[in-house]
Amino acid sequence: MVQQVGNGLRSATVRTRNLSQILTHLHLEGATTRSALGEVTGLTRSAVGALVGELEAVGLVRELPSEPNGSRGRPSPVVDFHDGASGPAVLAFEILVDSMAVAVVGLGCQVLSEHRIARSREQVSAVDTVRDLAGMAQRCVVEAGSPEIIGAGVAVAGLVRRGGEVAVAPNLGWVDVALAELLAAEFADLRSIDVGNEAQLAALAEARRGVAKGFGDLIYISAEVGIGGAVVSAGGPVVGHGGFAGEVGHIPVNPAGRTCACGAIGCWETEVGERALLRRAGMDSDGGRVEVGRLIELAREGDATASEVFRETAGWIGFGLAGLVNVMNPQMVVLGGMYREAFEFVGDVVVDRLATRVLEPLRKVLVVPSSLGADAALLGAAELAFDRMLPDPVRWRTS
């Protein structure tokens, strides 16, 4: 246990934590009654009343008039967030290899507006990317009704340091990009800008609002141009010392395998990446998302070659996942990106492979497609932004 200096508790801490617990519960679980909030927190009715009163006073929540609910006793009023632009919101940004997205998101992860654009895989500089995002963001904010923006989160396809710099994003052609600073220059009023890796943020979103909600231990596999991943353990992200955890594409799986783009031989990505899939199908390895879509369509049409390609690839997916499952002991593996699209052609083989390669006590692991799909990383970016405010919501709101 890493101990932090200066963490002695005091009355003010009590208040702050209780306010945070109530707001966080509403953020994750949705509107609920004051009475239920008492049960959730274990606090008395008077304490909950005062805490909700304070959150309401600073405009973070609203109390709806109580209505009869068919049971005896005084009905309890419902505590909810404000609709739309009446409450605070965050900006969520997503920068992938062939697309960019911006959303304005309110508490409860209410998407107030969202814009997504495709772009070519030609590598665009960070400066140009941020300029484009700024334009999209302005339009998004206006379209959302110009809510108060309290922060921003950014999901990037690359390795992101804890401080928010993009150390390297090979498929974007970026090295040592201070992305948070570039965005801060465009959005001078933002109080916080946090940057994270897209797979880690997608995992965060699936754990809170997607297929993995309620699962404290999971692995998320992001299969876009590269193979990325993320681990959630005991409800929290495993980011590692530098923030770079999750590079599952570079797990060595075959000492006699192919040379990877990273320079090593036999990485998992050389067997299950987009290029590997297309190569195995005898298609243009550089065919990108379009060719992958074609392959999926061929498989849906019953094309034997396409089906066999997915079967073989699924074997390798299972091969690499077996190691991850043996090491991390997750409840669930969530497949995103192209393996979410192709889940029907790979799911069973992956499960079979895990059944033979994972130790028996660890074998009860669910393998599922992402439910948030293309929005996973964007919602994760929004959560990242909210996580700055939720620990001390009233202070954030009043300063």
Size of the site for a copy of itself (CB under 8 A): 78
Q: How far is the CB of 352 from DNA (least distance, A)?
A: 49
370 binding partner (options DNA, a copy of itself, none; Cβ < 5 to 8 Å by kind): none
Q: Give the CA distances from residue 347 to residues 213, 311, 350, 381, in Å, rounded to whole numbers and listed in that order.
A: 20, 9, 5, 28
Q: How far is the CB of 233 from a copy of itself (least distance, A)?
A: 5
**By C-beta, is 66 or 329 nearer to a copy of itself?**
329
Q: What is the largest CA-CA distance in the chain?
A: 72
86 binds, among DNA, a copy of itself, none (CB under 5 to 8 A by kind): none
Stretch that binds DNA, among 70-78, 209-217, 230-238, 305-313 (CB under 7 A): 70-78
Give the nearer residue to a copy of itself in terms of CB position, either 39 or 344.
39
Q: Which of 28, 40, 47, 167 binds DNA (CB under 7 A)?
A: 47
Nearest Cα to Cα of residue 177 among 154, 199, 203: 154
Q: How far apart are CA 34 and CA 131, in angstroms?
A: 44
Pairing verdict, β 149-156 and 89-95: parallel
Of the residues 31, 47, 58, 368, which one makes contact with a copy of itself according to CB under 8 A: 47
d(CA 79, CA 67): 13
18 lies in the site for DNA, by CB under 7 A: yes
Question: Which range in 124-132, 182-190, 243-251, 305-313 contacts a copy of itself by CB under 8 A?
Answer: 243-251
DSSP state, residue 218: E
Distance CA 269, CA 256 (A): 14
* Partner whose footprint covers residue 250, from DNA, a copy of itself, none (CB < 5 to 8 Å by kind): a copy of itself
Nearer to DNA, 25 or 294 (CB): 25
9 makes contact with DNA (CB under 7 A): yes
> What residue ranges in 198-289 does DSSP mark as E strands?
218-223, 227-233, 236-238
* CB of 275 or CB of 397, closer to DNA: 397
| Among candidate residues 184, 154, 131, the one with its CA nearest the CA of residue 377 | 154
How far apart (Å, rounded) are the C-alpha atoms in residues 217 and 326? 13
Radius of gyration of the chain (CA): 23
Going by DSSP bridges, is the β-strand pair 99-106/89-95 parallel, antiparallel, or unpaired?
A: antiparallel
Give the chain's end-to-end CA distance (angstroms, integer): 32
The binder of 296, among DNA, a copy of itself, none, by C-beta within 5 to 8 A per type, is none
Q: Does 51 bind DNA (CB under 7 A)?
A: yes
Q: How far is the CB of 186 from a copy of itself (least distance, A)?
A: 26
Least separation in angstroms between CB 32 and DNA: 11
* Tokens standing for residue 34: 């004051």
**Options 66-74, 89-97, 208-216, 340-348: segment touching a copy of itself (CB under 8 A):** 208-216
- Can residue 255 be called a binding residue for a copy of itself (CB under 8 A)? yes
Provide the mask over 1-40, with x wherever binding to a copy of itself is found by CB under 8 A and - wherever it is not.
Answer: xxx-xxxxxxx-xx--xx--x--xx--x----------xx
Q: Which of 52, 97, 133, 358 binds a copy of itself (CB under 8 A)?
A: 358
Segment 97 to 156, residues that bind a copy of itself, using CB under 8 A = none
CA distance 343 to 284: 22
Cα 53 to Cα 19, 29, 389, distances in angstroms: 10, 19, 18
Residue that is written with structure tokens 């996942």 in the block: 321
Nearer to a copy of itself, 64 or 359 (CB): 359
Nearer to a copy of itself, 86 or 326 (CB): 326
> Of 317, 329, 315, 334, which is closest to residue 377 (Cα–Cα)?
334
- For residues 199, 205, 210, 216, the Cα torsion angle rounded to the nearest 10 degrees is 90
- Considering only 99, 110, 171, 233, the residue that binds a copy of itself (CB under 8 A) is 233
Residues that bind DNA (CB under 7 A): 8-12, 14-16, 18, 33-35, 38, 42-51, 66-68, 70-77
